[in-house]
Amino acid sequence: MKLDTVKFKRDTPPMTRQNSPHHHGDLRAALIAAGIKILESDGIAGLSLRKIAARVGVSHAAPAHHFKGKNALLVAIAAQGFRTFTALMRAGRENASPDPHDQLAGLCRGYLEFAEKHEALFELIFSTGIKAHADDELRETSTQAYQLLEDTCALFEPSPHHEKSNEIMIWSLVHGYATLRVYNKLMSPDGETVLPFEFILPHLTPREPHAADKN
């Protein structure tokens, strides 16, 4: 399928690009948005720079002026992915009762919701090749996601073994569960809905409210 021959068929009318072959308007953001769309429809394997450029309506080499390479665009997409990831976790937590167990369960619900509804994006942000420490924006957004989890874990007494044991355990648990559910590997494919945290959560003892913990 020749993609470059249908160059000027964009999905949105060229509001930003005023009848001129150059200066799209906000090409950088448009590329990220189009990349996410293609990612959600064609998966991570079907994502190519040329396809993104064609969808936005620019030439195949246009993205090079906004991103250092394909990987840089993927990093920007991943950063956006982390933002909606954090938003879903926060929403899940806010829709729960103030009880610490419910708070944590709500956070995990948001986690799983992201993994389910944005499968390709979920795979992207946790894939090799996307080094979180390489890019400033990606480091920022991923840190915020971890921060939210850390805050929620702070509602409980820390483990006597290690101060970060709670975070690591919860994060591993929910991430592993999400991964195995999404990829449907090694688990019964009949769509189990049992959550492992319902088994693990009672073992966590809520912290004494020695201060005004209303975050």
Interface positions with DNA (CB under 7 A): 1-3, 7, 17-18, 20-25, 27, 47-51, 53, 57-62, 64-66, 69-71
Burial class (CB in 10 A: 0-12, 13-18, 19+), 133: exposed
Per-residue binder mask for a second copy (CB under 8 A), 111-150, x = binder: --------xx--x-xxxxx-xxx--------xx-xx----
Residues 115 and 181 sit within 8 Å (Cβ to Cβ):
yes
Q: How far is the CB of 18 from DNA (least distance, A)?
A: 6
Per-residue binder mask for a second copy (CB under 8 A), 176-195, x = binder: xx-xx-xxxxxxxx--x-x-
Q: Which residues of the chain form contacts with a second copy (CB under 8 A)?
A: 43-45, 119-120, 123, 125-129, 131-133, 142-143, 145-146, 159, 161-162, 164-165, 168-169, 171-177, 179-180, 182-189, 192, 194, 196, 198-200, 203
